[in-house]
Chain A
Amino acid sequence: MPDQLLFAIEVTLNGLMAGVLYALVALGFVLIYKASGIFNYAQGVMALFAALTLVGIMEGQVPFSHLINAIFGTEIHHFGWHVPALAAIILTIAVMVVFAWLVQVLIFRHLVNQEPILLFMATIGLAYFLEGFGDLMWGSDIKKLDVGLPQGINGWIDQTTFDAFGYGFFIDNLDISATIVAIILVAGLIIFSQYTKQGRALRAVADDHQAALSVGISLNFIWVLVWSVAGFVALVAGIMWGAKSGVQFSLSLIALKALPVLMLGGFTSIPGAIVGGLIIGVGEKLFEFLIGPMVGGATENWFAYVLALLFLVFRPQGLFGEKIIERV
């Protein structure tokens, strides 16, 4: 096989892996948008906050230590223990559930029946608040996140492909784990929404609030549930991105990468988020590889947005979104 083709295959594989990570972030958006019509700008910050909390708990950091030290003149930073990764993840999930409940009780319960733009503004406010709150609680330094996922080049793939083609593919173990985790997560979400009572109630609420009430569904409960699930998805995305590039402020910007994914896949479709993520991931890597050298590179920064723009023009509902039909 010619080298050029082998490179292209390697680039495609890496693109698929990157796409999985985009899809993970986009999923959180889709969940909340489907159930409540809210475009949750804070999804990226939720991923950051979840990752910060996870690291904080694992390292035994004292929450609000800077604040406490400034007020009382103390010098405490750590409890002096380390929590195992699994226990810390479970604790972080609990924190995200409490967060979901607070968001519902303090913000969205008071905004029922308001314009979508108002709800969107509320999530912008939430994003900035949460960003500052996360800093205050856990500090703003860049943190290393290691939950025990394998990292670095996968030797087996490298060796096998080298033996077969005379060229070893570079695939990161972390990307492989991310893909496996994403597959499990998506399968779980689909089973949850299609086969359980709560999932059916969730789809009902997404469709018609009044009708949902009349068959005995509590809207508040469903919304807390949805925000909790979105918080869980944010945690998974936060773990994967955090393990890759450290837990830091820029993690919240992955939300911007999710936007073109949503425009491609449609805001209301879970499979759409996955496929959209993969297309963007592969597309931007291949484009950079094939066209990049001709235009001076750095196409990864804009490729996704241009693709999304094209979709907005020719297929505004996305690949899998619900077609907007107006019956007259």
Chain B
Amino acid sequence: MERTPSLAERVVVNAVVLVFVVFALYPVLWVISLSLSGGGMGEGGSVLPIPHDPSLANFKMVLGGDDPQKTWLFGRQLANSLLVSVLTAAVAIAIATPCAYALARFRFVGKEAGLRTLLVTQMFPTVASAVPLYLLLDALGLLDSRLGLTLVYATTAVPFAIFQLRGAFESIPVDLEEAAMVDGASRFEAFVRVVLPAARPAISVTALFAFMSAWNEFILAATLLSRESAFTLPVVLQRYVGEHDAQWGAFAAGAIIVSAPVMLLFYVAQRQLVSGLTAGGVKG
């Protein structure tokens, strides 16, 4: 299959990737240094981010020192974040997949108008629609509930999910489904058994996107939720930024804690993402 690359190629490819790894990591190293010391925002005046007077005090504070009532609040809020983000990804995928499939495979009245509307929704800055959204959730009785928040996040992720998945479904040869249907499967069965597995990489990308959009959001979460035990982590972190000053060290420590699960998730899930590369070599 793939031929063995020359030494020069190996070196160049690794070097290029490493340059970008440094680019990606350097600012984060400042955040880490900040979390260990609690000084300025990368304003150390030096090239290398070395924390002065390193301590884990910020991490301790975020993980529980700032929890005067000792109720495992941070743990519960982490669970909230995970629950909301995972559900957001699941709901967004569940809503978007059938719709994207129909948009990729069927011709029906209203298809073009629907696609255009979806695109338009992404163009409207949220600054103007936050208040109506609040009123709507109020009317639905979904204020101050994690389910309501999940629903809002999922619907915001749905337009992207539909576009992304529609593109993926279009690139899957239609013969695959037809073969299944000749074998007696219904259209829907062919969709579930043949198309969905083939679109796994695109579904993973979309799910990751939906997960991330929920994982980092705080304005809507802070506005819609009104119980501390229901807060998600970004809301908790944002509390370290006050009107006059901010505890950047604690914020940075929290940010690192918040990003660890995402990286873990990505490390585990990346096989799904690129599975087509290894498994898709030989086709029927």
A binds B: no
Name A residues whose Cβ lies closer than 8 Å to a Cβ of B. none
